[in-house]
Structure 1
Amino acid sequence: MGQNHRDEKLRANSYYEATVTREQASPPLRVAVRADVCVIGAGFAGLSAAIELAERGYSVTVLEAQTVGWGASGRNGGQAIVGYASDDAIEGQFPRDEARAVWHMSVEAMELLRQRIAKYAIDCDYTPGYMSVAITHKKAQELDRWVGHLQHTYDYDMQSIPAPQMKDWIASERFVGGAFDPKSGHLHPLKYCLGLAAAARALGVKIYENSAVTRVERGSPAVVHTQDGRVSCDFVVMAGNVYLNEYGESVARELDKNIMPVGTYIIATEPMDPARAAALIAQRSAACDTNFVLDYFRPTADHRMLFGGRVSYSTVTPMNLAASMRKRMLAVFPQLADLEVTHAWGGFVDITMNRAPDFGRLGGNIYYLQGFSGHGVALTGLAGKLVAEAIVGQAERFDLIGRISHRAFPGGSLLRMPALVTGMMYYHLRDVLEI
């Protein structure tokens, strides 16, 4: 069964889909067209690239295999976060000044997200505030050291939350320390993605939905093929992530080795009284624990609890998804036991071995953006800006991130997934044993 078929089942009961009104899908590409740039994928990264390029005067065609925001961009936890999934990967490969430049790009990514929301009047329930929270005293000490490290190394301020104050921030007995970041936040990701698509169309970008790319002829010009059409273009931006090669062997199979699809799962409760919802998390922030196999949660604009976690590294959806996720939620908020779970859904995000983003080129005129590793809500927007800069001829920043070295997942196409599952079991055991 293809990944897109598995995903359709995970998408079926999405709270996000239930709370938007989609326009009729754009017709698929059925003719040969010409564009300056062809973008593959109508998620955050692809649409951001399209907007940036269109603003610079380029003609842009976007090909989407399903519908806008169908993949991770329309199904994630909605947390827009400064930083990367692993700062160690960046600090271990760059001298201090370049590591600072890369890290501060993530701050720019958050600023860019807020700017786009304002500029294009995107109604996506953006709410500032994000907390990292620890469930053991050892992890709380590590979190406190991390806050100090960000201040010392990057001049970035967060507020440490000591154990006695945690109940003032989250109405839960589970956490013994935290850190609050007022510059990060959360939003309704599908509303944001549809808003980006509307902005792109208003700038003249042509978006073709239900137009899976089957192969890419590399050259100058490049030719991007769908089942019934093709785009001849000077540049290609590949922003399909784990879906890029789902529909054809001749797209960019060499990119597969650096990323893996990881399933993440989310539930939403029925709406609460607004005062009750507000009492759960101070300032209506998003929150995420610091376990390797983590939980994340946040209130929604309509006063539900949205709770995510329960990752799968085998692409197999957990049994009894709603019930198992509800059990995880009640371990954090037992006071929500009277609430019904109305939605349970999931999707696949792309991770790299070192949890750092993977940007680069295939030849001189084909660019790729992948490996956001759970930090894609904000970072994809910057990725689109960087690739646009590179196409224009100002490639220094794109190439800086492109210098991050990546290791292929071990085991090749047959064994890398079982190897990853085994490794994640090890880290989950460390979380359970608090080592």
Structure 2
Amino acid sequence: MLQDYPRSFYSHTAQREGLPPFPPLQGSQEIDVCIVGGGITGLAAALELRRLGYQVMLLEGERLGWGASGRSGGQVLTSYACEMGPIEAQLGFDDAKKLWDMSVEAVQLVRDHISEFQIDCDWFDGAAVAGLKPRHMDGLKHWFDDISERYQYPHLRLLNQSDLSQLISSDQYIGAVTDSFSGHLHPLNYTLGLAKAVYDSGVIIHEQSRVTSLQRGARPVVHTATGSVSCRHLILGGNAYLGQLVPELASKVMPVGTYIVSTEVLGEERLRRLLPGYYAISDANFVLDYYRPTGDHRLLFGGRVSYSGVQPPDLSSGLRRRMLKVFPSLHDAKIEFAWGGMVDITVNRAPHFGRLGNDPIYFAQGFSGHGMALTNLAGKIMAEAIHGESQRLDIFGRLKHQSFPGGRWLRTPSLVLAMMYYRLRDLL
């Protein structure tokens, strides 16, 4: 059990061997590239930059993988939270197809990292979206046809109700679309495995070094409580945990609480009766439930979200009730862990990647629940841009993003009201 991390199934089963505790930043330092954030975005960027020959320093406010990278549902998915329609409407089909292909590359990057660095993170092939009502299946069939044919992605399969028993044993659903190339894993162990590769490559790492202020310009400077770093290039990879460090970025994302529970060990035989293929599953509601098996044969179940930033008071029991609607046979299964964390969403649920004006400052945020794969891609394409190859980052930069209405203080109540509408729509 990692004591410096929020208590969860992941921290209870984490493997940080080969990674010492890294000291806080001290004094004034200079470096080629400074990276803010020790999650997957920052680590993937650091790894690529070292391959390109840069000297790199990474600053993490808590511990490596402490935020969303080490607490998520662990689903590694193609596509984007907004799906491809809004992206195509903004950019046209050719650039939308490039972004689709990059989302596939993001999943391949995860697979490659696991293989190259021998990361023990309980990878399983397969993810699926399941429909609860005819409206869902109409949308899923349209998506299946579009992605399979126009976007030329061969890994999808459309299941009707009679085929569902090979995927899931539950009477809640009437069909599903499966993706055999996507998958799921232990996110904290993946992140720590990536961190070990970064550490071995020679990146300078400082934990417990939260950045408190930023001086913009031709040579940016970041400050912590105990030091500062001047750099030729700066990457901001803190996502939901950056706070108001850069107000114009903060206005484009909303931190949202998301929550998960884990059962006790159920055993492989019992769990495979519920999920024969061991796929990760999410439903097609706007405010969705999602669940998956673990490497030691538990069921992880997530689904409650907090748009107000306040954790639900009955987190464990509330998610258990939702789990039992899907799998009534788990009435005797104990819940051993319950935890939450923050993800950042954009207004349109599209990712927000780019550069701050003409300054050598790059950012990636707004993964909107698709971060386990896309953070790997974001780190890579920001490293490419620093190296003078910005074409891929520029495509993301053309996506238009609105600020959340209501400003810093009123945007949360506005979003809570909007989500009440979508929850009612899901129920109806």
TM-score scaled by length of structure 2: 0.96
Alpha-carbon deviations, 1:1-35, whole Å to 9, x = none? xxxxxxxxxx6431000001434421100122221
* Contact preservation (8 Å) 2:267, 2:296: no
Q: Report the counterpart of residue 110 of structure 2 in structure 1.
A: 113
Distance 2:322 2:330 in 1: 11
Structure 1 stretches lacking a partner, 5+ long? 1-10
Instruction: Name which of structure 1's ranges 389-398 and 362-371 shifts more when overlaid on structure 2.
Output: 362-371
Q: Report the counterpart of residue 342 of structure 1 in structure 2.
A: 336
Matched, 1:432 2:424: no
Alpha-carbon deviations, 1:106-164, whole Å to 9, x = none? 00111111111111111111111001101112211221111001112201131000011
SS, match of residue 54 in structure 2: coil
* Contact preservation (8 Å) 1:89, 1:355: no
Q: Report the counterpart of residue 29 of structure 2 in structure 1.
A: 33
Q: Report the counterpart of residue 3 of structure 1 in structure 2.
A: none
Distance 2:46 2:166 in 1: 43
Q: Report the counterpart of residue 138 of structure 1 in structure 2.
A: 135
- After superposition, where does 1:204-219 map in structure 2 within 5 Å? 204-219=202-217
Counting aligned pairs with the same residue, the percent is 48
Instruction: Name which of structure 1's ranges 176-185 and 81-90 shifts more when overlaid on structure 2.
Output: 81-90
SS, match of residue 258 in structure 1: coil
Distance 1:225 1:410 in 2: 30
Structure 2 residue corresponding to 1:189, chosen from 187, 190, 193: 187
Q: Report the counterpart of residue 222 of structure 2 in structure 1.
A: 224
Structure 2 stretches lacking a partner, 5+ long? none
Distance 1:420 1:328 in 2: 23
Tell me which amino acid in the other structure corresponds to 2:277.
Answer: Q
Distance 2:397 2:242 in 1: 19
Aligned-pair Cα RMSD in Å: 1.5
TM-score scaled by length of structure 1: 0.95
Distance 1:226 1:381 in 2: 26
Per-residue deviation, 1:182: 0.4
Distance 1:254 1:176 in 2: 43
Distance 2:60 2:196 in 1: 15
Per-residue deviation, 1:428: 0.5
Instruction: Name which of structure 1's ranges 12-21 and 301-310 shifts more when overlaid on structure 2.
Output: 12-21
Matched, 1:85 2:65: no
Q: Report the counterpart of residue 94 of structure 2 in structure 1.
A: 97
Per-residue deviation, 1:331: 0.5
Q: Report the counterpart of residue 62 of structure 1 in structure 2.
A: 58
SS, match of residue 213 in structure 1: coil
Alpha-carbon deviations, 1:319-343, whole Å to 9, x = none? 1111111000000001111110000
Per-residue deviation, 1:92: 1.2
Per-residue deviation, 1:168: 2.6
Structure 2 residue corresponding to 1:155, chosen from 152, 156, 160: 152
Matched, 1:52 2:48: yes
Tell me which amino acid in the other structure corresponds to 2:46.
Answer: A
SS, match of residue 127 in structure 2: strand
Distance 1:122 1:32 in 2: 34
Distance 1:298 1:426 in 2: 28
- After superposition, where does 1:316-327 map in structure 2 within 5 Å? 316-327=310-321
Alpha-carbon deviations, 1:238-286, whole Å to 9, x = none? 00112113xxx5x312111100011110000000121111221122110
